[in-house]
Structure 1
Amino acid sequence: MNLTRELAYAAPVPTVLAMLQDPAFWDQVAAATGARESRTTVDRIGDVVEVVTDQQQDVVGVPSFAKRFVGESTQAIVRQTWRGEEAGYVVDSPGKPISISGSATVTASAAGSVLTYDLDVKAGVPLVGGKLEKLVCDLTAEGLEKEHAVGVRWLADRG
């Protein structure tokens, strides 16, 4: 199942990229999304910047059919591999039948810039896989909206 979201920011592309590559930004996103634990590392090798966020979250508000697949908590390891204004984007949830992969791209706009996530959500579960994918898409979209709100504040505080 595909999930595409565009997050508009009133800041130029280099400023948004700097935000997305700052562990302190991801700490604030983790707090906004209710993560129990979160740690972000940033590695720069030449022109490639790898941002990895490893976090634990309680599973809240999911239907009973999903609880048996995702449990009471989940670990999400988000790996963004930035090359210029584009990143490969992968979310691994060890031990869970769910994967997310795709891209993140920052482009210039008249008002500043737009961060576009184009993600593919897969659930390797027979019979209820489609329902689980929809649920994960909805939860991911909700998380991206919280990320956007943190980003807007982040940029306003530093602008």
Structure 2
Amino acid sequence: MKHEQKQTFDKPPETVIRMFGDRRYFERKYELLGFRDIEVLEHEAAGDRFRIRVRYTAGADIPLPDFARKFVSGDITIVQEDRWDLAKKTGRLEVDLRGLPVKVGADMALVGLGKGGAANTLSWDVRCSIPLVGGKLEKLLLADIEAKADADLAASRKILADY
């Protein structure tokens, strides 16, 4: 299942990409979002390439129908990897929801907007391999991504003020 999301910023793409290429941004953002047990597993910054893998714990705070409760019960351990080509301002994020038979990822493209702003477009793709209920679980995950989008963007905008 596919979904597109746009994040807008009041600083130019050069400033926003500097933030997206900073390990501390990810640590701060996850803290602001209330995640627990945040650990940077890998981090590489070489030339125009940036990559970070972070593990954290999040609460399963969306209302789940009965069929989904056997897959999601309580907290979820998440491993997220973000990769950026800083020169092209394009990236990819992959989200591994430990214990769930789903694949979640998004291609990202950061572009300039008028008046010195920027927009990051995330093209999400959520796939679930469970027959019969997979599509329903995909819809739930996309709804959760959308529900958390405002908090994620607010945290990023707050951190961007320091760049």
Same-fold call, TM cutoff 0.5: yes
Indicate the larger mover: 78-87 or 21-30: 21-30
Q: 2:146 matched to 1:141?
A: yes
Q: TM-score, normalised by structure 2?
A: 0.86
In 2, Cα distance between equivalents of 1:52 and 1:75: 13
- Asked if 1:117 is matched to 2:99, the reply is no
Match for residue 137 of structure 2 among 126, 132, 136: 132
SS in 2 for 1:101: strand
C-alpha distance in structure 1 between counterparts of 2:23 and 2:91, whole Å: 16
For the 8 Å contact 2:29–2:159, the answer to whether it is kept is no
**Gapped regions of structure 1 (runs ≥ 5):** none
Per the alignment, residue 77 of structure 2 pairs with 75
In 2, the alpha carbon distance for the partners of 1:3 and 1:38 equals: 27
**Stretch of structure 1 that moved more, 58-67 or 121-130:** 58-67
Counterpart in 2 of 1:4? 4
- For residues 47 and 26 of structure 2, the distance between their equivalents in structure 1, rounded to whole angstroms, comes to 22
One-letter identity of the residue aligned with 1:78: Q
Return the alpha-carbon distance in structure 2 between the equivalents of residues 6 and 19 of structure 1.
17
C-alpha change, 1:126 and 1:141, in structure 2 (3 Å) is same
- Match for 1:67: what amino acid? R
Q: Report how far residue 145 of structure 1 moved.
A: 1.9
Tell me, in whole angstroms, the C-alpha distance in 1 between the residues paired with 2:110 and 2:51: 15
Between the aligned partners of 1:24 and 1:144, the Cα distance in structure 2 is 20
2:29 alignment counterpart:
29
What TM-score do you get using the length of structure 1 for normalisation?
Answer: 0.88
Aligned residue runs from structure 1 range 15-94, under 5 A: 15-40=15-40, 41-63=42-64, 64-84=66-86, 85-94=89-98
CA distance in 2, matches of 1:33, 1:65: 28
Identity, in percent, stands at: 23
Distance 2:111 2:52 in 1: 19
Deviations 1:40-79 (A, max 9, x none): 3531133211022211112123313222112222121111
Stretches of structure 2 that go unaligned for 5 or more consecutive residues are none
In structure 2, distance between residues paired with 1:44 and 1:90? 18
Aligned length: 158
